[in-house]
Amino acid sequence: MKSNRSIPAGKSFTLKTLLVLCLLILPAALHAQTAPDGASYLRQIEKRYENVNTFRAKFLQVSKAPGVVKTEKASGIVYLRKDGKFRWDYDKPEVVMIVSDGKTLWIYQAEDKQVMVDEFFGKKLKRFPYTFLKGMQRLHEDFDAYVLGTKGKMVTLELIPQKKLKEIVKMLITFDKETLLIKKIQWVSSQEVKTTITFDDIDITSKIPDSVFHFEPPEGVDIVKADTP
């Protein structure tokens, strides 16, 4: 069933926050210690992800908008591939699936019985130099890295963009200095929304089949087509 209804206003905050993460990886800003240490860590992380082609993990997303008392929390499982395919399956507080095969984007909201479909998403994706795995080797060319702090084997870096970014004002990344895997990403958007995503049970060795990145809308749901690019 097709519909001209737009996505409910209450949902757009979380969805936009997530899509920024899907498209833009690991930028940042704040204050810190010495640049050489940060640059060295960044090079190590780039080297670590050089041969990482898939990423699967449990995630917890916490978002706080300015002037809003309540903090939004959501959790689920994320699947990513270096070729631009991704899937974010939210199970709490409600079922939401955000899926892309690199060409089409599906956003399914079970509670609203609605699927937003963007068949031009692949073209839009090409406008972005970074996805979660793609472009990792070039981070040092675009960001200045600083060590913000360490706690045990965990290190937090801030990456200051050398050029102003449209959607992201600043971001922090926390990684395990033994495995060099990123465990947490925190950023502030241009609308001053603060979002933190923490990853757990990370798997970067298992293959993820193409079928994971395709979505068939259930019968009886409204299908909302996105505008052309």
**pLDDT tens digits, 103-122:** 999 999 999 999 999 988 87
State both tokens at 126.
Answer: 């090409």
Nearest-CA neighbor of 118 among 102, 96, 94?
102
With contact defined as beta carbons under 8 Å apart, do 9 and 142 qualify?
no
Do the beta carbons of residue 115 and residue 107 sit within 8 Å?
A: yes
Alpha-carbon dihedral sign for residues 62, 216, 207, 50: negative
Query: Residue 21 — pLDDT band, cuts 50, 70, 90?
Result: low
pLDDT tops 50 at residue 129: no
Instruction: Give the pLDDT confidence score for residue 168 in this predicted structure.
Output: 73
* Secondary element (H or E) of residue 20: helix 9-23
Domain ranges of the chain: 9-214
Residue 3 CB neighbour total at 10 angstroms: 12
Confidence tier at 138 by pLDDT (50, 70, 90): low
Q: Which of 54-58, 97-101, 168-172 has the lowest mean pLDDT?
A: 168-172
pLDDT at 122: 79
| Architecture of the 9-214 domain | Clam (2.50)
| Whether pLDDT at 151 is above 90 | yes
Measure the CA–CA gap between 189 and 133, rounded to whole angstroms. Answer: 21
